[in-house]
Structure 1
Amino acid sequence: MKRTWMAGLGVVAGVLAAGTASAQTEFNASIWFPDTHPLTGAGYVQWVEQLEEASDGDLVANLFTGSALLPPSAHLSGLQDGIAQVTYHAGTYTPSDLPEDNTLSILGLGLRDIMTAGFAVTDFYMNDPEMQARFQELGIIFAGGYATPQYHLICSTEVANLEDLEGLKIRMPGPIHADWARSVGATPVNVPSSEMFTGLERGQLDCAANAANDLKSRSLWDVAEYVNLVPLGSYFAGWEWAFNADFWQGLNDNQRRIMLDTISSSLVDALIAYESASMEALEEAPDHGVTIHEPNEEMLASVNDFANNVAPETAIEQGTEQFGLEDPEGLIKRFEETLAKWDELLKGVDRTDGEKLKEILHDNLYAEVDESSYGMQ
């Protein structure tokens, strides 16, 4: 692995290597989270090290973190253009390019288990014909998903009940969260997670809905003294790993197999690290002057009612009217069936048992992916 923090360094070498499978295949990987974020640390830093080792030095990544190579919203276009050969991308940043993904992401408000969500999203996006047709149209190869721990309210003002939300400006990750905020009298603000600290510091935001790990990884506890643990679901839009199609198709079968197997393992590592980082940050938060509130029954009922009754209807409505999908109801039904499949496969499994989780994911998904045909259309 070659670590690169300044845009431009290593870009030419990586692009020249794209689409070839020479003695050493060098490529650019980009994720816009900081190094302290678990999707970066476990999902990319450790993955590219494992990739180089598993390939005996054949597959070598120039890894760009933060916005060194691409700004957050450009991680799809930069992938398509070959500036990077593999990226992370938050799908809600480019809704018109990813209509199915954005339709399904609305259901995240009701998801409570990071493993079921992350495994099911990956399975569905790799195997559903409608999803695969979209990725083929975009010229990218989906290789692995992700999901976040529960989003909570991280605030600069105390929020103990629904009435406290009245009039607050809250950074929300997606449209369904924004709709819920409006339903309780708050004002949703659409800014990327990279701007949460500044927004809270300057008073442009009163709260940010996000996973609790960012209290520590982005030092939000320096500008937010209160957390309400109301469960606002799991965010999963986009992908953790997707490849430029020309690059992927230029690899040989063995290289693609190594990519798939290392991603299968790293996906589990990233989810465990993400959940662990969130729990650790909450445990440490009181030492940084943060007051943590458990949500009261009224607040829980408000979110759960929205997730169970409003979110599915909103997904169908937006899928039809905003995104022009032919059958959003069928899309949602198939996705829910995949969620049920993984809920059953993971029943009773310790969510901290990395080896068991890796075995289940590999045997029930990645081992079934044919490296000689997947993404080769």
Structure 2
Amino acid sequence: MTGFPRSGLLGSAAVGLGLLAAAWTTSATAETYKWITFKPQGAGDAQAISTQWFVDEFKTRTDGKHQIEVFWGGSVAKTREVPDSLAAGVGDFGDIVTPYFPDRFPLNNAVGFFIPQPKSTMEIAELMETWHATYPQFGQELTSQNLKAIGYRPLESYGLLCTSPVRKAEDLKGKRIRTYGFAYPALVEALGATPVSIATSEAYEALERNILDCTPIGPALAHGWKYDEVAKYYIEIPLGASFGHLIAMNLDTYNGMDEETRTIVDQLGSEYAKAYSDELDATIAQVRAGWTEKGVEVIEFPTEELTSIVGDERIQAVRKEWINRADAAGVPSAEIVKELSF
């Protein structure tokens, strides 16, 4: 009978079983993580583009062993559902719009109490990273809810988009200006204008119908929401960048990663703000370049006329509210306040 010797058959079988076991082990340890976001995939803005950057880099740096699948456009969790969905493990990564949860994340909403302030998008991202590294209370605010911040996505520096020219503080008297959050209502009142609470999605029509005279916004968002179709004056009033989104993870997922993968996530989180900020800057430059043809006039606002009102008691009362929260949490607030002051 012609064939393999018995020892050869056993050897071949052993090799085959070994290859099968190796393949099974590789398959068992490979992971596909879920990223849940409210952003539409085709938005084409800095937020969506930088999210895809993170996903692509994660796959590359893990040599394709792990990957992230993005569930775009609120398909798994709407904007206000993301923190609970992440905490419950419905997703592994996600975008938390921090200002929507002022009582849930009071420390991480610090910047929202200090408008106007002098910092840019990248500077605010760096401050947030520093605060998380320096004051454990910032992170504990998240870990207590089974969440972990791995990156920071501040919004762009804001000015005012208006339906008529504003060249000095006096021109703002009586204007109806869209407000939200903590600092903007107090700031608008201190400027002698009238704060009006209107949702982002409704502001286009409000500007078009003269229900609003102005809205605080940056060039990229003004173009993205098409507000610059109905309001043709962009006022360079230095409101500063405001903090927008945490790039967060389910804490159990993060802790369950092997050390190598966790290190990659930490590196990407640290690099994320630069990738996002670079994309945002490119978008802003493109929007500004197109404004001339679109008939949008950019008007410089005297900085001193804004900074001179920061001492107004209404503005200071808002800032004091956050200071009290920080003090109660054991965070020394003086250095943070100094960073966010002109």
Q: Deviations over 1:262-316 (max 9, x none)?
A: 2222321111222332233122112112122111x3xx22321344776984355
Structure 2 stretches lacking a partner, 5+ long: 1-27
Counterpart selection for 1:305 from 277, 299, 308: 308
**Which residue in 1 is equivalent to 2:334?**
333
1:314 aligned onto 2:317: yes
- Give the AA of the match of 2:49: G
**Separation in 2 of the partners of 1:159 and 1:185?**
13
**Which residue in 2 is equivalent to 1:38?**
46
Task: Write the mapping of 1:113-262 to structure 2, written as runs, cut at 5 A.
Answer: 113-239=120-246, 241-262=247-268
**Separation in 1 of the partners of 2:167 and 2:75?**
39
- Give aligned-pair identity as a percent: 19
**Separation in 1 of the partners of 2:282 and 2:115?**
20
**Separation in 2 of the partners of 1:276 and 1:192?**
27
| Contact 1:27 1:85 (C-alpha < 8 Å) held by counterparts | yes
Counterpart selection for 1:280 from 286, 303, 309: 286
**Separation in 2 of the partners of 1:265 and 1:315?**
32
Give TM-score scaled by structure 1 length: 0.73
Q: Deviations over 1:99-144 (max 9, x none)?
A: 1123443235212333222111122124411112211112210111
1:88 aligned onto 2:89: no
The alpha-carbon distance between structure 1 residues 310 and 81, as it changes in their structure 2 partners (threshold 3 A), is: farther
Q: Deviations over 1:156-205 (max 9, x none)?
A: 33333333323333223532122110112222234454544344345443
Q: CA RMSD in A?
A: 2.9
**Helix, strand or coil for the counterpart of 1:58?**
coil
**Separation in 1 of the partners of 2:295 and 2:69?**
39
**Range moving further from structure 2, 265-274 or 186-195:** 186-195
**Separation in 2 of the partners of 1:22 and 1:248?**
15
Structure 1 stretches lacking a partner, 5+ long: 1-20, 341-377
1:26 aligned onto 2:29: no
**Separation in 2 of the partners of 1:51 and 1:191?**
38
Shift, 1:232, TM fit: 0.9
Shift, 1:95, TM fit: 0.6
**Helix, strand or coil for the counterpart of 2:307?**
helix
The alpha-carbon distance between structure 1 residues 309 and 206, as it changes in their structure 2 partners (threshold 3 A), is: closer
- Give the AA of the match of 1:283: A
Task: Write the mapping of 1:45-124 to structure 2, written as runs, cut at 5 A.
Answer: 45-124=52-131
**Separation in 2 of the partners of 1:108 and 1:122?**
19
Structure showing greater Rg: 2
Counterpart selection for 1:294 from 272, 278, 300: 300
Give TM-score scaled by structure 2 length: 0.80
Q: Deviations over 1:47-106 (max 9, x none)?
A: 111111111223322223444443333332332233332222222111110111234432
**Range moving further from structure 2, 219-228 or 73-82:** 73-82
**Separation in 1 of the partners of 2:146 and 2:46?**
27
**Separation in 2 of the partners of 1:66 and 1:308?**
41
| Contact 1:89 1:238 (C-alpha < 8 Å) held by counterparts | yes
**Separation in 2 of the partners of 1:54 and 1:248?**
17
**Which residue in 1 is equivalent to 2:21?**
none
Residue-pair matches, total: 313
